[in-house]
Amino acid sequence: SQTIHQWPATLVQPVGSPLSLECTVEGTSNPNLYWYRQAAGRGLQLLFYSVGIGQISSEVPQNLSASRPQDRQFILSSKKLLLSDSGFYLCAWRAPSNEQFFGPGTRLTVL
Amino acid sequence: QKEVEQDPGPLSVPEGAIVSLNCTYSNSAFQYFMWYRQYSRKGPELLMYTYSSGNKEDGRFTAQVDKSSKYISLFIRDSQPSDSATYLCAMRRNSGNTPLVFGKGTRLSVIA
């Protein structure tokens, strides 16, 4: 069966510090992968998606970036965090059947 | 007009009630419809997945899609306090790698 992992689970970072969040998927190959942000009281905002290694589509211009160095690994990064980057970051993968499954999320607080 | 509209609630019901959660959408090209349940501080969990129109039942949950009205529903029978969560609808066009479009979610509380 397929499993999606995210780490860390929680993170507290100062403004201006770098960020690296990791997502890995097990039990499938060449999945479509997604990064979402969910801010308090707001809906899910799609940040990036990837259909393959090295292929990244950005949905929202911002100080975040994404990379896909391996087939089942998706990384969300920032060089300098802003207060507005605080939120709940979710990774997801899309099955060939078109169902989409989410990871457990990373709660980021920027102080 | 937003692509997907969902009443944010909160919706509060007594234990055992039938719950009806709804979303409307504007894009007639949507073909894949999903309902997610999200507990506080957790990732969304896929509850129901439907392709095109019709009904789908899974235990106490029933998903309905009415493409002519651009309206989808999730019914929860015999609601339990453990059903208290935020419910998100999501949908996608039937083409390529287009991402899911989500509603903002409805917060449900089932009171014992």
| Contact indicator for B43, A104 with CB cutoff of 8 Å | yes
Closest CA to A39 of A111, A102, A107: A107
Residues of A in contact with B102 (CB under 8 A): 43-44
Nearest to A43 among B34, B46, B102 (CB): B102
Q: What is the pLDDT of residue B95?
A: 66
pLDDT tens for each residue of A60-111: 868 999 999 999 999 999 999 999 999 999 999 998 888 999 999 999 999 9
For residue A101, give how far its alpha carbon lies from the nearest alpha carbon of chain B (Å).
Answer: 7
Task: Give the other-Cβ count within 10 Å of A89's Cβ.
Answer: 23
Q: What is the pLDDT of residue A98?
A: 86
Which residue has better confidence, A43 or A106? A106
Residues of B in contact with A43 (CB under 8 A): 88, 102-105
Q: What is the pLDDT of residue A5?
A: 96
Distances (CA, A) of A30 to A41, B19, B32, B79, B93: 33, 38, 21, 38, 21
pLDDT tens for each residue of B11-43: 999 999 999 999 999 999 999 999 999 999 999
Q: What is the pLDDT of residue B97?
A: 77
Q: What is the pLDDT of residue B70?
A: 95
pLDDT tens for each residue of A5-31: 999 999 999 999 999 999 999 998 889
CA angle B41, B47, B48 (to 5 degrees): 150
Which residue has better confidence, A43 or A109? A109
The rounded distance, in Å, linking the Cα atoms of B74 and B88 is 10
Question: Quick one: what percent of chain B has pLDDT higher than 90?
Answer: 85
State the Rg of chain B over Cα.
Answer: 14
Q: Write out residues in chain B with pLDDT < 50, as ranges.
A: none
Q: What is the pLDDT of residue B8?
A: 86
Nearest to B42 among A44, A98, A104 (CB): A104
Q: Are A98 and B32 inside 8 Å of each other by CB? A: yes
Contacts of residue A84, defined as CB under 8 A and 6 or more positions apart, other chains included, come to A110
Q: Are A49 and B99 inside 8 Å of each other by CB? A: yes
Q: Are A90 and B43 inside 8 Å of each other by CB? A: yes
